[in-house]
Amino acid sequence: MRIYFERDWMKELLFEGWVYEKPLLVSGPGGSGKPLIGNFFADEWLKKGGNVIFMTASTSIETHKRMMKHLGCELEKYEEEERVFYIELAPQIEDIEEVSENSIRANYVKPEVWDKALDFAGDKVKKGSDLGTLVTSASLNLLFFSKTYGEKMYEKLKFLVKGEDKNYFYVLTLNSDAYKDWAKALEDSSYNLMVSGMSENMKLTLKVIKMHEVKYKDEEIILPLTPDIIMEIKKEAEGGRTT
């Protein structure tokens, strides 16, 4: 199972595509645009006819939609086709709360709620897609800060990055600055790993470290995003953070 990409920089980087039964992990320091990378993959997945479940961790669903619009992805049309679902992290609640036809809030710091929320979302999206359903999740390190569930979530994510969950496909992002030992262990456990960076002059960089069963460009590239667009997205993210 392999997906090929339409964007020029993605074709340049992954000219043999991505064997997507093995999750992709995007790692990098804070402020290096990791969620943007995940969103680009989600956009390509939707354009190819697949479903996407967005698990937002530090921004609201509405903010996430506006950020996607900056990347040229209008999520509303996919909502109408029942191919998009949103799960917003809500650590202040016990379980899950339905917000709308295509969104819930969930305390997915708890491993069992993570599973329950994904199953709920998976039942809501359109059936019969050739690609299946991609799950994108940002800021996974936020889940490690829980004294009760942090280590359990780390073990769960180790399970996920190895491709052990056969129900969904994953693009996961990770801040390499926080819980460095756990972050490094997840990087080592992954089959597909990219590292993002942000230069002083606001250039977003990306380098493939390893990919499963495909050749790839191993030089770092600069993504074709202007500093103005990056600043606009950063403002959206900072202004739309959930509490």
Residue-wise pLDDT tens digits, 169-222: 999 999 888 899 999 999 999 999 999 998 888 899 999 999 999 999 999 999
Q: In angstroms, rounded to a whole number, what is the distance separating the alpha carbons of residues 88 and 91? A: 10
pLDDT band at 123 (very low <50, low <70, confident <90, very high): very high
Domain at 23-195+227-239: CATH architecture: 3-Layer(aba) Sandwich (3.40)
> 168: burial class by Cβ within 10 Å (0-12, 13-18, 19+)?
middle
pTM of the model: 0.93
* Residue 239, pLDDT score: 56
Does 96 have pLDDT greater than 60?
yes
Pair of tokens at residue 223: 């993504």
Q: In angstroms, rounded to a whole number, what is the distance separating the alpha carbons of residues 86 and 137? A: 10
Does 56 have pLDDT greater than 50?
yes
CA quadruple 210, 215, 216, 218: dihedral, nearest 10: 60
Q: Domain segments of the chain: what residues?
A: 23-195+227-239
> Per residue in 138-169, pLDDT tens?
778 889 999 999 999 999 999 999 999 999 99
Q: In angstroms, rounded to a whole number, what is the distance separating the alpha carbons of residues 220 and 51? A: 29
